[in-house]
Amino acid sequence: MPAVNRVFAAQLARLPVFGPDGEPIGKVRDLVAGLRLDQLPPRVLGLVVELATRRRVFVPMLRVTALEPNAVTLASGSVNMRRFHQRPNEVLVLGQLFDAHARLVETGDRVTVVDAAMEQARTRDWLLTKLAIRERGGPLGLGKRRSALQVVPWAEVAGLSLTDITGQTQGAGQLLMLFDTMRAVDVAATLRDLPLKRRHEVADAMDDERLADVLEELPEEDQKELVAYLADERAADILEAMNPDDAADLLAELNPADQNRLLGLMHPDESAPVKRLLEYSSDTAGGLMTPEPIVLTPDATVAEALAHIRNPDLTPALASMVFVCRPPNATPTGRYIGCVHFQRLLREPPADLVAASADTDLPALQPTASLAEVTRYFAAYNLTCAPVIDAEDHLLGAVTVDDVLDHLLPQDWRETGLHDTGAAEAVEEAEHA
């Protein structure tokens, strides 16, 4: 995309849209921006393009290669022809943001939005950073002049958040409908922006599995506050639904009395692996590991291993490796034999035994290995998942690269948000598929 510092939305209205070879696609009818609960600039998700057939479709911004004064050009690839439908967390810039009533933060003056400027951040995301506004007074009459146009930063205008621009107060039910389309990490970031009372209402309305996923993505202080709000029985249910390593990290932050009370309310089968993890320091391989990797016995086939990898509940890092051990399969297992990366499994005949492909020479981590040792291990062997074994060669669990990153990043990394990383750009098209 050429170096364009700023583009006003009104300039894009009805511009022709062309494919990479110059073939006409349609015309720009609107821009779609993702609404936020706070006053930070929203991200422009894509364009609403009207085809020659009058059908309006969504084109993600990642597909736009050029914004020019007289045309918009798209990258190569097919356009999703499904009719565009606006989602609850979205705003049509031309259709809804224009003429919206707001007020200036500093003076409280009432204003009307007449245009919006989007700028491309270093992450390649397009953000609505500026607003063109006019002061909103009484109706124009004899002797009255129209107020001057001002261009101000988005943050200087109040009344354009998620709860304002839609013209309604978002209840817990409406927020849950919105959150249903969002990843857990983004729900957690949005939840932190809610008033405490509304945050508790949403937590009460969420099912245990979803709340567990969101709780794992919250900063420690927010986790502790939410667990303290929940009734003990439900807090124990949420801890059972969390990944054992995340549950252990959370419990480690509580005082011993609360920790023991919640562990006592958990089902013994769920609390046992969490208790084992609490025995290790959080900055060691034992404290970082998950006790639930994919474990197979030597007589399992490659086809069985691939079936386990396909489990949608596994993270990509955890699904990248299977571990071959003597019975029992539950950690701590029988004698550890070796590990097989999923790429190796894809190259082997499905009927072959998985033990024949096991890497028996890859060193394993000891549970007392420090964070620095674990980091060097991952860098040296180019892994995303690594085995942790004890002195008797029993597999205790596996460390994944995401857990290592979680401990290497600054403690407040969750509080700074992910919207400036550009990570969401890669999923824009999937969001509207």
Q: What is the CATH number of the domain that holds 125?
A: 2.30.30.240
**Euclidean distance between CA atoms 37 and 35, whole angstroms:** 7
Angle value at C-alpha 76, between 72 and 77, nearest 5 degrees: 115
Q: What is the arithmetic mean of pLDDT over 50-58?
A: 88
**Is residue 242 assigned to a domain?**
yes
335 and 242 both lie in a single domain? no
User: Comparing C-alpha atoms, which of 195, 153, 181 is closest to residue 38?
Assistant: 195
Task: Give the tens place of pLDDT for each residue, 119-147.
Answer: 988 888 899 999 999 887 644 444 445 56
The pairing of strands 294-296 and 321-325 is parallel
132 and 197 both lie in a single domain? no
Task: Give the tens place of pLDDT for each residue, 277-296.
Answer: 999 998 899 999 999 999 99
- Report which of residues 177 and 102 the model is more confident about: 102
**Is residue 372 assigned to a domain?**
yes
Long-range contacts of 93-100 (CB under 8 A, 24+ apart): 93/9, 93/30, 93/31, 93/32, 93/33, 93/44, 93/128, 94/9, 94/10, 94/13, 94/29, 94/30, 94/31, 95/30, 96/165, 97/9, 97/33, 97/160, 97/165, 98/9, 98/10, 100/159, 100/160, 100/165
Judge whether 264 and 291 are in contact, CB under 8 Å. no
43 and 176 both lie in a single domain? no
318 and 213 both lie in a single domain? no
**Is residue 285 assigned to a domain?**
no
12 and 63 both lie in a single domain? yes
1 and 142 both lie in a single domain? yes
pLDDT of 188 higher than 50: yes
Q: What is the CATH number of the domain that holds 250?
A: 1.25.60.10
Domain that holds residue 348: 294-408
**Is residue 425 assigned to a domain?**
no
Judge whether 389 and 397 are in contact, CB under 8 Å. no
Q: How far is CA 420 from CA 42, 90, 182, in A?
A: 11, 18, 17
- For residue 162, the model assigns a pLDDT of 56
User: Comparing C-alpha atoms, which of 168, 203, 170, 171 is closest to residue 187?
Assistant: 203
Please report, rounded to a whole number, the percentage of residues in the chain having pLDDT higher than 90.
57
Which of 169-178, 204-213, 351-360 is predicted with the least confidence, judged by mean pLDDT?
169-178
233 and 100 both lie in a single domain? no
22 and 131 both lie in a single domain? yes
Tell me the pLDDT band of 168, cut-offs 50, 70 and 90. Answer: very low
**Is residue 66 assigned to a domain?**
yes
Task: Give the tens place of pLDDT for each residue, 9-43.
Answer: 999 988 999 998 889 999 999 999 987 766 788 99
- For residue 358, the model assigns a pLDDT of 96
**Is residue 286 assigned to a domain?**
no
pLDDT of 428 higher than 50: no
Beta-bridge partner residues of 74: 64
Q: What is the CATH number of the domain that holds 325?
A: 3.10.580.10
**Mean pLDDT score of the chain:** 85
Task: Give the tens place of pLDDT for each residue, 331-353.
Answer: 999 999 999 999 999 999 999 99
140 and 84 both lie in a single domain? yes
The number of distinct structural domains making up the chain is: 3
Judge whether 181 and 214 are in contact, CB under 8 Å. no
Tell me the pLDDT band of 252, cut-offs 50, 70 and 90. Answer: very high
